[in-house]
Amino acid sequence: MMQFKDFLEKIGVSKEQNIIVHSSLRSIKIAFNSISPNQVIDELKQAVTVSGSLIMPVFTYNFKKSNDGYERFDAIHSPSKTGALTEVFRNCDDVNRTSSPTHSFAIWGKIKNKIKESNSPESPLGENSVLHWLAKNNNAFVLLLGTNFSSLSLIHYYEILFKVPWHNYSPWDYMNVLPIGVNQLNEQNLIELPGCSKSFTSFESYLIEKYFIQNNFYKGMKYYFIDINKLTLEAEIFFKNNYKELLCKEGTCQACDSRRRKYLND
Ligand SMILES: [Zn+2]
């Protein structure tokens, strides 16, 4: 059986890369003999070194709501809602957390010199966000371990970059969600709220059909390691021509249906 460290090397993870990781800890543990989350994190850090960067989403979705009963973001105490590995990562002593009440990131390495802990752009995954910094970097990668493209946050950034028709229309009215992030002290008006990501797998299927990526599995764990600059070139084509496929099928998703009703009445 391969060690996690050797697996990272084999798929191309190496020093000085800036990598955003999306993960299922459960799948990683099955593939690598019940490896601990701390070991996964340590080996990722050793692979990229402090001259590179590790990034994980630690989103909490602390939106203001039009009805009562919403929680306020607390950078220290609010747990990540984007997976068990990310929660362990953000609690490392040498990891910083950005301040978006809805879409904060845990960051380690070089990026800590570039992105402040106070980072909280009004477009949480758009201009001036961690994803924006990453997409402009020429040594940047996405690493998916046990997840598919429905957890690939970068696709929300592409929705904004390539201006899909609904990029600044919130689909969350039916959940009483207002375009306002809330933390302990104040509120922040937001633009370009990320919508539903379930059907982002259509972009994944497209890339597999084009042989841009392979449908990789290691001991049942789906994985991808993708150069972001190359992905952005592919995304530009897909998001201009096939963007409708990014919404869920009609009648299966209230969020996507609201965007479809407003923008795709043909
Ligand atoms: Zn949907």
| Separation of CA 65 and ligand 1 centre (Å) | 20
| Separation of CA 249 and ligand 1 centre (Å) | 8
List per-residue pLDDT tens for the chain, 266 residues long. Answer: 799 999 999 999 999 999 999 999 999 999 999 999 999 999 999 999 999 999 999 999 999 999 878 999 999 999 999 999 999 999 999 999 999 999 999 999 999 999 999 999 999 999 999 999 999 999 999 999 999 999 999 999 999 999 999 998 999 998 999 999 999 999 999 999 999 999 999 999 999 999 999 999 999 999 999 999 999 999 999 999 999 999 999 999 999 999 999 888 75
CB 246 within 8 A of CB 157: no
Residue 3 CA, distance from chain mean position? 26
Q: Under the phi-then-psi rule, with left for phi > 0, alpha for psi from -120 to 50, and beta for the rest, what region is 211?
A: left
- The pLDDT assigned to 266 comes to 58
- The pLDDT assigned to 187 comes to 96
| Separation of CA 247 and ligand 1 centre (Å) | 6
Q: Under the phi-then-psi rule, with left for phi > 0, alpha for psi from -120 to 50, and beta for the rest, what region is 76?
A: alpha
| Separation of CA 139 and ligand 1 centre (Å) | 31
What residues contact residue 6 under an 8 Å CB cut-off, 6+ apart?
none
What residues contact residue 140 under an 8 Å CB cut-off, 6+ apart?
17, 18, 19, 20, 134, 227, 228, 229
Residue 187: φ, ψ to 5°: -120, 150
| Separation of CA 218 and ligand 1 centre (Å) | 29
- The pLDDT assigned to 64 comes to 96
- The pLDDT assigned to 1 comes to 78
> Tokens for 77?
């105490």
Residue 135: φ, ψ to 5°: -65, -25
- The pLDDT assigned to 67 comes to 87
Nearest to 26 by CA among 34, 17, 38: 34
In three-state secondary structure terms, 99 is coil
- The pLDDT assigned to 68 comes to 76
Q: Report the amino acid identity of residue 209.
A: E
Distance CA 39, CA 90 (A): 14
Q: What residue spans of 12-107 are helical by DSSP H?
A: 25-31, 37-48, 84-90
- The pLDDT assigned to 264 comes to 85
| Spans of all domains in the chain | 4-263
| Separation of CA 153 and ligand 1 centre (Å) | 14
| Separation of CA 77 and ligand 1 centre (Å) | 30
> Which sign, positive or negative, has the C-alpha torsion 77, 25, 154, 46?
positive
